Each structure stands twice: as structure tokens, then as C-alpha cells.
Amino acid sequence: MADVDHQRPRLDRTALEQLLAGLTAVRGGDFSTRLAPAGDPLIDEIAAVFNGMTEQLDQFTAEVTRVAREVGTEGKLGGQAHVPGVSGTWRDLTESVNAMAANLTAQVRNIAQVATAVARGDLTQKIEVDARGEILELKTTINTMLDQLSSFAAEATLLAAQKQDIEAKNAEISQAREETEERARQLALASQYKSQFLANMSHELRTPLNSLLILARLLAQNPGHNLTARQVEYANVIHSAGSDLLQLVNDILDLSKVEAGRMDVHAERFAVRALVEDLQATFGPLTAEKGLEFRASIEASAPAELVTDRQRLRQVLGNLLSNAVKFTERGRVTLRVTASRDEDAAVAFSVTDTGIGIAAENLATIFGAFQQGDGTLSRRYGGTGLGLSIASEVTALLGGRISTDSELGRGSTFTLWLPGSRGSTRCSPPWSAG
């Protein structure tokens, strides 16, 4: 046994100490240590293996550091570690580092590409690169943000288009308003000229007409009994035609005042019965002259007093009664005052006749100026068709309205609805005449 130990070469203590120092340096991360040849074959082989290992570790460390610096610090993407002659685990480590760098490069470049597109206003691109962990969360967040931005951009584009449409329509409306205002000014000026002209003409016509009517009435009365029956008839025709002409002048002037907004309303408190009695006294003889029956009544439910323009109300009722008498050849004309069941009115004045009636298709036009239920009526019964138009306009000034119920060949009912006044008393007992 002693002979065997004597034949094995002894390791140089110095060489072992150098090897230990080199391994200690490697353990501490210093790969720059190299072992020098000692002249002993075994020691030199160990030194060669050690020096090759540290050389590869040094190169590997240098490449990994370079790639980490370029990608992580300098922002240079696409870097790869190149360690020649590595194998085994060292090759696996090198490939892992390169795969990590390549994956990070692809992810960052894809994010940069999408960010650049967004900066240019292109919201259609998405991050498509494979990712995991926090990078996947970042990818999901950015893609979700792009979806929201795309939706917002679409809505903003729609709103911008709508804004342009609204601005265009506003411009059209503004232009139309200006044109309407200009036309309104022209119409107001024309109406003013027309009203002034009609007022002047009515004054100029009324004076000779009144003189003509007085003279014709005197001639028709024939106080000296020196006129023949034919001459008296002529005088009556002149008086009738002059009266119609004077009524036409008055109607046209009233219509002009209403259209120009110059017809004033003067409210006053008055008894409803007094108004009805006045109408009874006026239209009773006219209906009797045509052989018609005239009835006037006030129901107990109707207010005893009203506060409105008595003159204008009488004018409206007079027009309605005149029409009823004109278009009724036999039967009766009735004026009836009742309490209104309408929420917007307190009293209703109904004028009913048994005359010719109005066809259903003509009811919508009878309140127009110069309109009558039938084109042949003006030739048969006379008149200009202004009465109902004036009555409707004046009623509106009083805050009321007129409704019509008619059947051709059986008669008509025109009802004037008027608002009442506070504290109005009821009519008791009911009153009627005729």
C-alpha cells in the first residue's frame, strides 16, 4: 500500500491554492481569473478546463449584460446574445435570454406601432402580439381603451355632423324668419294703408249715402201724395239698395279694423235680459214681416249679468240673427241663452232657425271672408258673406268662439260661447218672449 502511494504524483500546493482562488473568484462573479500552466500535466489540464469555463462565463455575462443594457436602458430593440461554442445548459440559458429579448421586442414594437397609429388618428389597429401576465393586462387595457376611443370618435363624428346639420337648419330658419319678418312688416304697412283708405272711403261714402237714404225714405213715404205707385216703388228700391250698400261699407270697415288689430274692446257690466229684450225689439218686427215666428228665452241657469263689450256682443248676435232671418222662408227663429257646460265658457247664446241649412262640406268655409254656404246663395238671398267672418273675428276678441250645427234643408244652430265674470248671479226666474 505504501508503494502505491509512493507512485501517485503529488499535487503542487501552489497550484491547488491558485485553483481555489480562481473558483472563489468565479463564485463571487469574477470571471476574469485565469490559471497559469504549472508544468504538471494534470494541473495543466485542470487549468485549461477552468480557463475555458471562465472564458465562456465571461462571454455569456458580457452578452447578457449587453442585451439587457440595449433593451432595458438604451431602448434598442432586437438585440440578441451571441456566445460561440456554448452547449448544454449554457446554450439553453443563451436561447432563453434571446427568446425573452425577442418576445419583449415584439411586444414593445407592437405597442409602439399601435400608439403611433393612435397619435395619427387611426383607431382601427389593435395589439395582436401574444402576451402573458402584466403585459397581457397592459395589452387588454390598451385594446379596451382603443375600443372606447373608437366608439367615442364615432359618436363625436356623428355629433359633429348633426351639429353641422343643425347649424345649416338654424341658418335656414334665421333666413326664413328674416323673410317672414320682412313680409310681416310689408303686410302691416299694406294693412295700415288699406285701413286708412277704407276709413277715408267709408267716411266719403257714408255722407252721401245717408242723404240718399233719407231722401229715398221721404219719397217712399210720399207725404204729399203726389207720386205714383210706381215712383214710390222705385223710391223703396233705392232705399233698400242704399241700405245694403251702407251695410257693406260698415262690414268692410269692421273687417279691416279686426284684421289690423284696431278694433277696441270696452268691457262693462250689463244685464243679459236687457240685451235680449233689445234684440227682441229689433228682430221681432223683421221676422213678423216675413211671416216667421221669433222666440227669445233665458234659462234659469244662465247668468243674470255679464262683463264684456256689450256693443260688440250685440253686433255678433245681430249678425247671427240677421243670417237666420235671411235664410229662413218659413218656420221660426229662436234665441236661447243658457249656462255653458264648457270649462272655457260660462254662457251660451244659441240662434236656431228652420231655414235652408248648410251642407256638411261647406261648414268649414262659412266663416271665411266673402264666403257663403253655396255660391248661388248670394244671387238668391243677397249679401256679401262678410257677416259670419266679422262675427267670428269679433267673438275671438271677446275671448269666445262660435260653433255650428246644421243640416241641409232642416235649419241651423249657431252657438256663441262666452267666458263669464266672477261673482255673476244666476237668472231667476227664467224669461222668455215671442
Q: Give the C-alpha separation, 186 to 180, whole Å.
A: 10
The predicted structure's pLDDT at residue 148: 85
The predicted structure's pLDDT at residue 348: 92
Handedness of CA 367, 369, 372, 375 (dihedral sign): negative
The predicted structure's pLDDT at residue 310: 92
The predicted structure's pLDDT at residue 320: 92
The predicted structure's pLDDT at residue 313: 92
β pairing state of 305-308 and 293-298: unpaired
End-to-end CA distance of the chain: 168
Per-residue tens of pLDDT for the chain, all 434 residues: 445 444 445 556 777 788 888 888 888 778 788 888 877 788 788 888 888 888 878 887 888 888 778 777 777 777 787 777 767 777 777 777 777 777 877 878 788 888 888 888 887 888 888 878 887 888 888 888 888 888 888 888 888 899 999 999 999 999 999 999 999 888 878 777 777 777 777 777 778 888 888 988 888 888 888 889 888 888 888 887 787 777 777 767 766 666 666 677 889 999 999 999 999 988 898 899 899 999 999 999 899 999 999 988 998 998 899 889 999 999 999 999 998 877 777 899 999 999 998 888 887 777 765 455 555 544 444 455 577 888 888 888 899 999 999 889 889 999 999 987 544 555 546 777 66
- Single out the residue of 32, 30, 35, 28 nearest to residue 50, CA to CA: 35
Q: Which residue has the cell 203726389?
A: 226
Map residue 84 onto helix, strand or coil: coil
- The cell numbers describing 251, all together, are 262690414
The predicted structure's pLDDT at residue 11: 58
Q: What single-letter DSSP state applies at residue 419? A: -
| Contact between 411 and 352 (Cβ < 8 Å) | yes
- The cell numbers describing 318, all together, are 245681430
| Contact between 193 and 223 (Cβ < 8 Å) | no
The predicted structure's pLDDT at residue 4: 46
The predicted structure's pLDDT at residue 118: 83
